């Protein structure tokens, strides 16, 4: 694992939509598991993709083993709510009587941000779980988090609850969740970006918003789709206009990659580049290659 992440128990992968968050989360999880860390990778109320990327059947809302030392779960609101309620109530019969009640279910939908709280609560609960011998059930949890705007809302939820909900079970849970998220010794954010102007700008904004508004620390920036230098100006000489344009185009992408890298380095956080992978099928092999490219082992 990359040095900036190797002692972190919670890794939050986020960025603009379409930059490759899920792929990255998946590659990090694979790498973590390979190092012998018991790793849980979580998708949050999304269309499940990680199991398919690793060539495994769908895992659904139950924590399911995918590989040696690797588990996955697709955290969904209904099941998370049930788990959360059962944890507090201890008795299934009470849960069924109260929470499966139509009126109550309706009511719970309108407790502000309760859905996000239980989703996050379920993920972070796994951070505290221990095995009979006292060791952690999961050494590391990786969250394939929502994209930019929703990520800020999502991770702000514990603070929103602390500010709006009077003391009680919900707000004390929110307090420890907030503490775990903002503790730089426990948690690191991985921001995924692309070498284009808008994704880079969004990465800079997201970094600032997470730092200032949510108080979370960026541990690593991954610049995906990086184009390595290949051509010099002289390579375009003596070619047909079409071919010369291909060279120019490639050089533009090289330049864009270089500029993006410089801008992102301005954050003062380590930036790792991952080249654009051109493969016929985007499957487990691609993930394995990205995991290898991330290096750090």
Question: For residues 100-119, which are near other proteins according to CB under 8 A?
Answer: 101-104, 106-113, 115-116
Each residue of 52-64: b (16+ CB within 10 Å) or e? ebbebeebebebb
156 binds other proteins (CB under 8 A): yes
Among 182, 246, 267, 293, binds other proteins (CB under 8 A): 246
Q: Using the rule CB under 8 A, give the single segment among 39-47, 68-76, 179-187, 264-272 that binds other proteins.
A: 39-47
CA 108 to centroid of chain Cα atoms: 27
Question: Residue 152 Cβ, how far from other proteins at the closest point, in Å?
Answer: 7
Among 160, 162, 182, 293, binds other proteins (CB under 8 A): 160
Q: Which CB atom, from 185 or from 279, has the smaller least distance to other proteins?
A: 279
Yes or no: say if 148 and 14 are a contact pair by the CB < 8 Å rule.
yes
- Rounded (10°) angle between helices 92-99 and 77-89: 130
- 218/250 Cα distance (integer angstroms): 31
Q: Which residues lie below 8 Å from residue 219, measured CB to CB, with a gap of 6+?
A: 4, 5, 8, 11, 188, 189, 190, 269, 270
Nearest-CA neighbor of 253 among 192, 191, 194, 193?
194
Coarse DSSP helix, strand, coil percentages of the chain, rounded to the nearest 5 percent: 50, 15, 35
Give how far Cα 98 sits from Cα of 93, 119, 265, 278, Å: 8, 20, 52, 53
Residue with tokens 């993709």: 49
Question: Residue 23 Cβ, how far from other proteins at the closest point, in Å?
Answer: 9
Q: Using the rule CB under 8 A, give the single segment among 6-14, 30-38, 128-136, 168-176 that binds other proteins.
A: 168-176
Q: Using the rule CB under 8 A, give the single segment among 35-43, 136-144, 181-189, 241-249 that binds other proteins.
A: 241-249
Site for other proteins in 259-278 (CB under 8 A): 278
Site string for other proteins, 72-91 (x = CB under 8 A): -------------x--xx--
Site for other proteins in 219-238 (CB under 8 A): 230-231, 235
Q: How many residues bind other proteins (CB under 8 A)?
A: 72
Vertex 244 angle, CA 239 and 250, to 5°: 140
Q: Which CB atom, from 16 or from 263, has the smaller least distance to other proteins?
A: 16
CA-atom Rg of the chain in angstroms: 21
Question: Residue 196 Cβ, how far from other proteins at the closest point, in Å?
Answer: 5
Q: Using the rule CB under 8 A, give the single segment among 35-43, 54-62, 214-222, 279-287 that binds other proteins.
A: 279-287
Q: Which CB atom, from 65 or from 239, has the smaller least distance to other proteins?
A: 239
Q: Which CB atom, from 169 or from 292, has the smaller least distance to other proteins?
A: 169
- 272/105 Cα distance (integer angstroms): 45
Q: Using the rule CB under 8 A, give the single segment among 13-21, 55-63, 125-133, 212-220 that binds other proteins.
A: 13-21
Residue with tokens 């291909």: 246
Give how far Cα 9 sits from Cα of 68, 126, 142, 186, 237, Å: 18, 11, 8, 5, 53
Among 3, 168, 266, 295, binds other proteins (CB under 8 A): 168
Among 4, 79, 83, 196, binds other proteins (CB under 8 A): 196
Site for other proteins in 118-137 (CB under 8 A): none
């Amino acid at each position: 694992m990359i040095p900036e992440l190797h002692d972190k128990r919670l890794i939050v992968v986020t960025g603009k939509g379409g930059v490759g968050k899920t792929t990255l989360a998946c590659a990090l999880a694979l790498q973590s598991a390979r190092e012998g860390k018991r790793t849980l990778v979580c998708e949050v109320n999304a269309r499940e993709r990680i199991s398919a990327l690793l060539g495994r059947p769908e895992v659904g809302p139950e924590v399911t083993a995918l590989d040696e030392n690797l588990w996955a779960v697709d955290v969904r609101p209904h099941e998370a709510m049930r788990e959360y309620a059962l944890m507090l109530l201890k008795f299934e019969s009470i849960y069924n009587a109260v929470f499966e009640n139509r009126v109550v279910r309706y009511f719970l939908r309108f407790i502000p941000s309760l859905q996000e709280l239980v989703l996050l609560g379920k993920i972070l609960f796994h951070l505290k779980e221990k095995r009979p011998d006292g060791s952690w059930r999961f050494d590391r949890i990786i969250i394939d988090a929502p994209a930019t705007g929703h990520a800020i809302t999502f991770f702000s939820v514990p603070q929103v609850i602390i500010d709006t909900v009077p003391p009680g079970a919900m707000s004390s849970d929110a307090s420890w969740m907030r503490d775990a998220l903002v503790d730089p010794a426990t948690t690191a954010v991985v921001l995924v970006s692309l070498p284009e102007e808008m994704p880079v700008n969004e990465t800079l904004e997201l970094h600032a918003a997470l730092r200032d508004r949510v108080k979370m620390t960026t541990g690593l920036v991954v610049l995906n789709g990086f184009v390595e230098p290949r051509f010099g100006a002289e390579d375009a000489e003596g070619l047909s206009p079409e071919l010369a344009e291909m060279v120019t185009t490639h050089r533009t992408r090289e330049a864009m990659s270089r500029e993006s890298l410089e801008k992102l380095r301005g954050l003062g956080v380590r930036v790792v580049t991952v080249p654009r992978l051109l493969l016929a099928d985007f499957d487990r092999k691609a993930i394995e290659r990205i995991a290898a490219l991330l290096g750090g082992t």
